[in-house]
Every structure is written in C-alpha cells, then in structure tokens.
Amino acid sequence: MKLNDIKKITCIGAGLIGSGWATSFLLNGYDVVLYDIKEELLELSKKRIINNLSIFIDKNIITRAESEEMIARAQYTTDLETAVRDAHFIQESGPENYGIKQSVLKDIEKFTDRSTVIASSTSGLLITEIAKYAEHPERCLGAHPYNPPHLIPLVEMSKGEKTSQEVVDLAYGFYKKIGKEPIVLQKEALGFIANRLQAVLYREIVDLVLRGVCSVEDADKACLFGPGLRYGIMGPNMIFHLGGGEQGIKGMMQNLAIPAFALWLPDVAKWEKIPEEWPDIAQKGVNEAMAKRDPYSGNTTEEIAKFRDDMLISLLKLHKKL
C-alpha cells in the first residue's frame, strides 16, 4: 500500500480518543467509519465529533458548510465486518487492556486485506504483546496520540518485534500528511516517552502535596506559570541549552544541573504506586482550584475544557501547526 492509496479510515472504539482521531481524519479529507460495541456509544461519538468540529468553526479555521460536509463523510456501525472490510488504515482505540486489544485485532484480521495498516492508540502497552496472536503482526504498530487527538500534534509510534519498516514508514508519512508530529521510538518502551515523563512529574506532584510542601492548586501553578509556559514553546533540552548562555546545554549541565540534581534527586519521590488516599485529595484540591479560577479561564469542567482548546489553537497557530 502507498500513502496515496489510503482513502478510507476506520476507527475501532469510538470513545474519547477514537472520536478525536476521527475528527482529525475528517478534517483532512478522509472517509471515516467509526465502530463501537453499542449504538448509544456511536450516538455519543457523533455528538463529540460535531462538538470537536465546532471549535474549528468558532476559530474560523473551517466554515459551517465544510463542517457539514465532514460530518457527512463519517459513517457509524456496530458491525465489525462493515467497519473494516474496505479500510486502508485502521486506528484502534478500544479499552487499554491486552486481552481486549488482542481479541479485537484477531477479529479485524478476519475481514481485512493483509495490506491494511492497523495502528493502536495504546497509551503504553507493548505492541509486540498486542500483536502476539495476530496472523500478520508485520502490519501492526503502536501510534499513541495525546488528548485531545484532533488538536495535539504528537503521535508516538512504536514498532513491535514483527512490525515491518515499510508499515512504519507508511504510517509515519500518513500522520505527517494529516499535520501530526510523529516520532518513532527506537525501541519499545512501556508508556512510550511522553507518558513516562508525565508519570514521573506527576509522582513528584503527589509526593510534594502529601508531604505538605504545597497545595494541589499551587503544584499546578508551579507547572503552568514556570516550566509549563516554556514547554509550550520548546523541549527541555533546548530550554537548558538557552539556560546555559554562551556555554550552551553542556555548560548548563556541568555548572548547574549536575551538582544541583545530585543534591535534589536523593530527596525526590521513588515510590511506584500512587497512594490510595490520593484520588480523593486530588479531586478536593481540583474542585477548590476550579472555584477560585478567574472566570476568563473557566470554572466548570466544560468551560475549562473550552479554555484549553482555545489556548491550544492559539498556540498551534503560533507554532504554524494550524
């Protein structure tokens, strides 16, 4: 299969991520079929896609007529064979569970041509394991999006032991074509890259709050108004490079990071399981922070999600990604 042969895409699992992917594919001119196990979930997906597209209308990126044409290009079904039969590219976004992903893959293979690419949105499972029972594991790969997938460009691609390089190259070209920023892991890693980074940062936030160093709200402020603003512009290596002035990142490491980290790192969290009491503490802290937010940035979950999407679009425009 060649890049230009990809015309019809199927999203398996039409939840939050499947609907987001579908939005991206529709925005880029593809025909999309969404499959889920119940009609009501497909109805919800339809609403999600309409809502996702409305953000692009509000920001004058697409017109209402264009959105209607995109919505008309989406089909919905609870019949797997109908969903995948003529698909050129399948984006699987079912539940994050090896058993379910393995059995969905086996079922998909009954109805598809072996040239159809099957990409899994898994947040961190190994593609080798997901494709363990596949008849054609060479066409299976991991392609982890970041939520919301219709706005965040990153796609972390992961090759299983049997994935062919040809399939990786094809999928890479495809994601590039729809405006994504794909990266290919050089070897499989649980949690890929971004979720591992997120996990260690978040572990430290939990630890600092539980140790009484800061509140949930202040931990978020420390991220957002400090490193977070910079991370929205460039990555940590480039930031350190600028921080090193004339001496660049090498000088920054030698003069500052090596001695400072040696002092701090023995004191940071090392546990491996989020403490049981944390979900309640986190929810209480977030509820308090929501009530205190400036109304400009939203006080309800819906308002805050809208604020996030508005800001993301502004940032993406500055990055020339929209």
Using CB under 6 A as the criterion, which residues of the chain lie in contact with ligand NAD when the complex forms?
12-18, 36-37, 41, 93-96, 100, 104, 121-123, 144-145, 147
Q: Kindly tell me which of 142 and 244 has the beta carbon lying closer to ligand NAD.
A: 142
Helix/strand/coil (H, E, C) string of the chain?
Answer: CCHHHCCEEEEECCCHHHHHHHHHHHHCCCEEEEECCCHHHHHHHHHHHHHHHHHHHHCCCCCHHHHHHHHHCEEEECCHHHHHCCCCEEEECCCCCHHHHHHHHHHHHHHCCCCCEEEECCCCCCHHHHCCCCCCHHHEEEEEECCCCCCCCEEEEEECCCCCHHHHHHHHHHHHHCCCEEEECCCCCCCCCHHHHHHHHHHHHHHHHHCCCCCHHHHHHHHHHHHHHHHCCCCHHHHHHHHCHHHHHHHHHHHHHHHHHHHHHHHCCCCCCCCCCHHHHHHHHHHHHHHHCCHHHCCCHHHHHHHHHHHHHHHHHHCCCC
Q: Minimum Å distance from CB 63 to ligand NAD?
A: 28
Q: Minimum Å distance from CB 197 to ligand NAD?
A: 14
Q: Kindly tell me which of 15 and 285 has the beta carbon lying closer to ligand NAD.
A: 15
Q: Minimum Å distance from CB 119 to ligand NAD?
A: 11
Q: Minimum Å distance from CB 106 to ligand NAD?
A: 11
Q: Kindly tell me which of 17 and 167 has the beta carbon lying closer to ligand NAD.
A: 17
Q: Kindly tell me which of 100 and 126 has the beta carbon lying closer to ligand NAD.
A: 100
Q: Minimum Å distance from CB 42 to ligand NAD?
A: 9
Residue among 37, 36, 32 at smallest CA distance from 6: 32
Q: Minimum Å distance from CB 252 to ligand NAD?
A: 32
Peptide bond into 279 cis (omega under 30): no
In the bound state, the residue with its beta carbon closest to ligand NAD is 15
Q: Kindly tell me which of 18 and 244 has the beta carbon lying closer to ligand NAD.
A: 18
Q: Minimum Å distance from CB 214 to ligand NAD?
A: 25
Please say whether the beta carbons of 316 and 310 come within 8 A: no
Residue among 54, 26, 62 at smallest CA distance from 309: 54
CA–CA dist 41, 17 (Å, integer)? 13
Q: Kindly tell me which of 101 and 159 has the beta carbon lying closer to ligand NAD.
A: 101
Q: Minimum Å distance from CB 306 to ligand NAD?
A: 17
Q: Kindly tell me which of 61 and 100 has the beta carbon lying closer to ligand NAD.
A: 100
- How buried is residue 110: exposed, middle or buried, by Cβ count under 10 Å (0-12/13-18/19+)? exposed
Q: Kindly tell me which of 143 and 205 has the beta carbon lying closer to ligand NAD.
A: 143
Q: Kindly tell me which of 126 and 210 has the beta carbon lying closer to ligand NAD.
A: 126
Q: Minimum Å distance from CB 263 to ligand NAD?
A: 35
